[in-house]
Amino acid sequence: MAQQHGQTAPAGRQSSANYETVFTNSKAGMEGVDAEKVKRVIFEASKGSAHYENERRKERAHEERIARMHAARVQLTPADLARHTAAMDAKLAASEAGRDLSRTWLHIDMDAFFAAVEELDRPDLHNRPFAVGGMGMISTANYAARKFGVRSAMPGFLALKLCPDLTFVAPQFGKYRAASERTRAIFRDYDPSLPPLAASLDEASLDVTQHCEQQGVDPDQVAAEIRGRVRRETGLTCSVGIAPNRTLAKICSDANKPDGQFRLPAHRQAVMDFVAALSIRKVPGVGRVTQRLLAALGVHTCADLVTHRGLLQALFSPTACDFFVRVALGLGPTQHTPPPAQGEVGRKGISHERTFRPTSSQEELEGRLGELAAALARDMAGEGLRGRTVTLKLKLSTFELRTRAASVASHISAAADLYAVGRSLLLPELPCELRLLGLRVSSFLEPARREAGQLSIEQMLQRRQQGAGVQQQQQQQAAGQPAGGCVPSPSTRHSRGGDAAQECCEEEAEVEEGAVEEEEEGEEGLHTSQVLSDGEFLELSLKHWEPPASTQDSAQPNPSLQDWCGNDGGGDSGPPAPAGGGQLPASHGGALPAYSLPPSPLVSPAKAAGGGAGAAAEAEACAGEQVEAAAGVPLPRAAGQQVASRRPGSSGGAGEGAERQREAAEAVVPQQQHEQQAQQMWTCAACTFDNPRTAFWCEMCRSSRLPLKASTVPAAAAAPATKGASGTNAGKAKRGRKSGAAGLAAAATAAAPSILRFMSAAAPQQQQQQQQQQQREGSQPQRQQEQQPEPQRQQDQSQQLQQPQPHQPQQPQQPLPAEQAVGSEQAGGPQEESLHQSQAVPVPGAEMQQQWGGEEDGGDGLWGDSDDDDDEPGSPLLPGEDVMECNLCWEWVRETRLQAHMDVHKDQELAQKLQAEEDRLARLFGSNPGTSATPATAGGSGSGKKRQAGGKSGGGGGPGKQATLTAVFSKRAKK
DNA sequence: GGGACTATGCTTG
DNA sequence: TTCCACAAGCATAGTCCC
Ligand SMILES: Cc1cn([C@H]2C[C@H](O)[C@@H](COP(=O)(O)OP(=O)(O)OP(=O)(O)O)O2)c(=O)[nH]c1=O
Ligand SMILES: [Mg+2]
């Protein structure tokens, strides 16, 4: 029975009955909706679409996962089950012992929040079906619309099919934030400890224990009072759940929605009865996928969690089991989440993403990336954030999602830097048709630490200012020109030795810290991209980039650049910030059958006491075994290694990956060379010697002018030497930072963590892919494979993994060496060696290093610990070292190596390419310099994005930052 | 084995 | 033709390095 349940809406079948990805009627206000009819309508309108196909693909993956779970299940012996059951009993006992029923929590969730707020301004919409959002997607719908099946996260055009009279109202997040603050002001009267920053705009958890005691009122009265005040003072309605902990209160807030309240008595038996009957899906943290997994095991209600505890313990991770235990017992956090400590950043990441009409145009994508970077930089500046990990999110036109991340050595925040890193992540993925781009920054620098001494970059700059370096100055001291004035180069900002890139948006903060700001030096200080004289392409770039002096005479910074910095000082305030996405409550509709459930077979508190730590340890021990057993499929060690040798995103086979890499260096690598690369040779641009792909320097002449770094070679095809074994292509991996291990504690307290992720049985993507591969190849059933001896399995996997796969899991990631990274305090980065790939790529270094992952080997120790001579071209730059930035390739070069670096550039062939590129830029930009992208002219598609670009002068001169800048922006402007 | 990194998936509002 | 969002957090797994 369990099986029929979960799975099986056969993958292959296409019918509305199985197409449930969009609709479920478990939301408040949708109880009477004819779910089947809605599903049918949605199915008819969706089938055949890219989205639909993607959903089916995911469905198949779920079914396979369930199949693996069953396979693991049948291998369990009665003894296994007994052991697991005992382990769970111990966990239950331990958790029970910690139950706290002394607090009284109220969870308040606003009703149809966005819609209700809109209705305040549009009374005409009262009782008429309407949704907040557009044809693409709606955020929420009022209750009148929900009767038709219209709901949150439903595409507008489908909603319209369900409800032809539906009215759409564009979201205005500012209004929702304001309304939210009004409600929270009321809530604080009942719980002064309510955190000022809400995780969600439309919900709040209040600990009213003290209030009730002091006022001598009961929770029901408080809830009623709050609802009344909210209604009177804001014109909105809300629903309230009352329970002894936050999780239960939240669940209860949905019980009598809308405009109602529900209290769960603070008695153990009442709680146990309540949760026993509760659908597992009502539990925060259990989503659609997890529900299906559990249903496949016969778990539908929380009581089932107890009934099948042995099975769960055997098939799910320890973390997941801990969660199940707490759910089964009706436990939840009874304290507010501690606010971030002084100086701590209260968030883990910040991002922006945008969907657009699918395109594969590099120019357009770059333009969009620039917009994202600008918006992100603006937001980061607003919060004073600086981070060192940039993650690019891509959604293909097929709806397949990909992410590519790179960590740089210093914390950045400037639009130019974000763009540079983002672009370096994007190019290797091309060509591909995308419908969404997103940019996220994480790994923030804690302000406290910042002050503690992470300003080496500034120190370096100050040193230089005192010394002989050419300085650069901000041109925008205009008061109203905060961050933005300092136009950062959209190109690389390898701040060796520090955040030379503190640019832009971060400037303000830095200034306060007494960093660099003051002086300047006239025009020379500016980074004009002028070509100084024959061969003198180098130019110092200390901190900020500015357009060529000649173009700056106007004293008016390049408007597009200002935009970039999110600086409205120049007058452009940019379009209203795109809304910090939604953040609201969750509500599952549903009637709550009151207390009449099967008695819970939980251990008694007394027994629990006995269980104690020992029991927990035992559970832990058992859990360890589960992993293998549960996985059913062997832990993919061998597999992982195989995969790891490949480039992360290079989905496709080796050839495809190589294609992307080549794309990244396209400006430098002629097509013919591409072909050669495909044959695993790097032709040195200086002496034409064909180097093996593993070469970093030309093995013949030691030149760095190889078309691309070996890293760009898809692992699969990469050096035979590195093939297979993981270690081999290890190369000089850089060190990375730490991974997840995030916090179980947090996970346990916060809204329940999703179960799936904990599920040890949930085969890693690799395994899924292997299985898919197997299926495609008609190989033996998984179960059989699982029974194979480990060595055999690994071997098989290895073989399978050598086949091209949709997208492989991670590869060894390596943080970007400081250098490239835009603004690093430590340097160390690519230098001359990157020449080949630079010039047309703003942040070549970053890209390279990032790609280097799989293959380098401690060999050259470029980024490793080797004690190479510092003066070696490839040796890492050190903090504070005197460097200059080459205006041709954007690489930072030691002052002691300037001549050698220039020599490289003198190469005739390269010069020609540069000229060609320059010509190309001139063509692109020349016709419409500076003003190219006014709002009116930009965005031919009408989808209109605000920002434009176009630098002031095309920088007519030689190739340089201005040229690159122009290239980046003028293209977009032209569209 | 643990820390540091990246990629993906799930969940929530 | 239009026509499946956006922001954030957490967990898992694989890699490498120490
Ligand atoms: C669920 C969801 C909500 N939101 C926004 C819009 C919602 O009004 C707001 C709060 O979310 P919810 O509280 O889930 O929904 P709601 O308040 O609109 O309706 P109710 O609580 O009465 O069931 O968050 C999204 O933008 N996307 C989503 O997927
Ligand atoms: Mg709500």
Residue of A253, A584, A587 to test ligand 1 pocket, by largest number of atoms within 8 Å of CB: A584
Q: Is the CB of residue A688 less than 8 Å from the CB of residue A709?
A: no
Residues with CB under 6 A from ligand 1: A 27-28, 109-114, 139-140, 152-153, 202, 257-258, 582, 584-587
Mutating to test ligand 1, I would choose from A30, A154, A168, A202 the residue with most ligand atoms within 8 A of its C-beta, which is A202
C4 C1': nearest CA residue: A155
Q: List, for residues A512-556, the tens digit of each pLDDT value.
A: 232 222 222 222 222 212 111 222 111 112 122 222 222 222 222
pLDDT-based confidence at residue A900 (cuts at 50, 70, 90): low
Span A697-701, average pLDDT: 40
Q: What single-letter amino acid sits at A670?
A: P
Mean pLDDT of chain A, nearest integer: 59
Q: Which residue is nearest to nucleotide C9 (CA to C1')?
A: A348
Q: Three-class SS of residue A106? A: strand
Q: Which residue's CA is minimally distant from atom 19 of ligand 1?
A: A112
Rg (CA), chain A: 30
Split at pLDDT 50, 70, 90, the class of A342 is: confident
Range among A10-14, A118-122, A627-631, A939-943 with highest mean pLDDT value: A118-122
The DSSP element (H or E) to which A404 belongs, if any, is strand A401-412
Q: Closest nucleotide (CA of A765 to C1')?
A: B8
Answer whether residue A439 shows pLDDT above 80.
Answer: yes
Please calculate the CA angle A303-A304-A310 and round it to the nearest 5 degrees: 120
Mutational test site, ligand 1, from A30, A31, A113, A176, max ligand atoms within 8 Å of CB: A113
CB < 7 A to strand C: residues 182-241, chain A: none
Check residue A662 and give its pLDDT.
35
For residues A481-497, average pLDDT: 26
Interatomic distance A809 CA / B1 C1' (Å): 23
User: ipTM higher than 0.95?
Assistant: yes
Alpha-carbon gap, residue A846 to A408, rounded angstroms: 8
Ligand 1: distance of its center to the CA of A111 in Å? 8
CA A899 / C1′ B4 distance in Å: 37
In this predicted structure, the answer to whether residue A604 has a pLDDT above a threshold of 80 is no
Task: Please give the distance, rounded to the nearest whole angstrom, from the Cα atom of residue A782 to the centre of ligand 2.
Answer: 44
Q: Number of H helices and number of E strands within chain A?
A: 38, 16
Q: How far apart are CA A258 and CA A239, in angstroms?
A: 6
A216-248 pLDDT tens trace: 999 999 999 999 999 999 999 999 999 999 999
- List CB contacts of A108: < 8 A, sequence separation 6 or more: A183, A187, A203, A204, A205, A206, A226, A230, A238, A239, A240, A253
Residues A865-888, mean pLDDT to the nearest whole number = 36
Cα dihedral value A780, A784, A790, A793, nearest 10: 10
Q: Are A354 and A380 in contact (CB under 8 A)?
A: no
Provide the whole-model pTM: 0.58
Give yes or no for a contact between A373 and A491, defined as CB atoms under 8 angstroms apart.
no
Q: Does pLDDT of A121 surpass 90?
A: yes
Q: Give the nearest ligand 1 atom to A28 CA.
A: 23
Nearest ligand for residue A260 CA: 1
Q: What is the pLDDT of residue A395?
A: 98
Q: How far apart are CA A503 and CA A457, in angstroms?
A: 11
Q: Report the percent of chain A where pLDDT is more than 70.
A: 43
A760 touches strand C (CB under 7 A): yes
Length of chain A: 975
| Separation of alpha carbons A770 and A797, rounded Å | 7
Task: Give the amino acid at A588.
Answer: H
| Ranges A438-442, A613-617, A903-907: which has the least confidence | A613-617
Which ligand neighbours the alpha carbon of A118 most closely? 1
- pLDDT tier at A307, thresholds 50, 70, 90: very high
Strand partners, A404: A392
- A3-17, A721-735, A744-758: least confident range: A721-735
A27 CA: nearest ligand 1 atom: 23
Atom of ligand 1 nearest to the CA of A111: 22
CA distance A223 to A585: 18
| Nucleotide closest in space to A140 (CA vs C1') | B13
pLDDT at A24 (0 to 100)? 53
Residue A199: pLDDT band with limits 50, 70, 90: confident
What per-residue confidence (pLDDT) applies to A450? 59
- Which listed residue (A203, A507, A520, A656) is catalytic? A203
Is A203 a residue of the active site? yes
Phi first, then psi: give them for residue A894, nearest 5 degrees: -65, 145
Look up residue A523 and give its two tokens.
């025009």
Q: How many angstroms is C1' of C8 away from CA of A102?
A: 31
Q: Tens digit of pLDDT for each residue in A345-370?
A: 889 999 999 999 999 999 999 999 99
Evaluate if residue A616 carries a pLDDT over 90: no
A207 CA to B10 C1' distance (Å): 29
- Return phi, psi of residue A387, to 5°: -135, 165
Is 50 exceeded by the pLDDT of residue A861? Answer: no
Residues near A130 by Cβ (< 8 Å), separated by ≥ 6?
A: A115, A118, A122, A141, A142, A144, A145, A166, A167, A168, A169
**Residue that wins the pLDDT comparison between A787 and A366:** A366
Lowest mean pLDDT among A614-623, A802-811, A882-891: A614-623
pLDDT for the residue A31: 76
C-alpha A108 to ligand 2 mean position (Å): 8
Look at A552 and A271; give whichever has higher pLDDT: A271
pLDDT of residue A340: 86
Which bound ligand lies closest to the C-alpha atom of A29? 1
**Which ligand has the shortest distance to the CA of A152?**
1
Nucleotide nearest to A578 (CA to C1'): C6
User: What is the average per-residue pLDDT within A425-440?
Assistant: 97
Q: Which pLDDT score is estimated for A837?
A: 29
Q: How far apart are CA A631 and CA A610, in angstroms?
A: 31
For ligand 1, atom 15, name the residue with the nearest CA.
Answer: A112
Tell me the HSE value of A72 on the side-chain side, using a 13 A CA sphere: 31
Bases of chain C within 7 A of a CB of the protein? 2-18
| pLDDT given for residue A32 in this prediction | 78
pLDDT at A103 (0 to 100): 98
In 3D space, the residue among A218, A183, A181 whose CA is nearest the CA of residue A108 turns out to be: A183
Contact between A929 and A950 (Cβ < 8 Å):
yes
Orientation angle between helical segments A908-926 and A898-905, nearest 10 degrees: 70
Nearest-atom number in ligand 1 for the CA of A202 is 10
User: Strands, E, within A130-234: which ranges?
Assistant: 130-133, 138-141, 167-169, 203-207
Average pLDDT over residues A292-298: 97
Gap between the terminal Cα atoms of chain A: 57
Q: Which residue has the higher pLDDT, A451 or A140?
A: A140
Mean pLDDT across the stretch A482-493?
25
> pLDDT-based confidence at A452, cuts 50/70/90?
low
The pLDDT of A127-135, averaged and rounded, is 96
The residue with tokens 């597009």 is A560
Centroid of chain to Cα A814:
17
What DSSP string runs through A140-176? EE-HHHHTTT--TTB-HHHHHHH-TT-EEE---HHHH
User: Of A415-429, A705-719, A961-975, where does mean pLDDT reach its minimum?
Assistant: A961-975
> Which pLDDT does position A816 carry in this prediction?
46
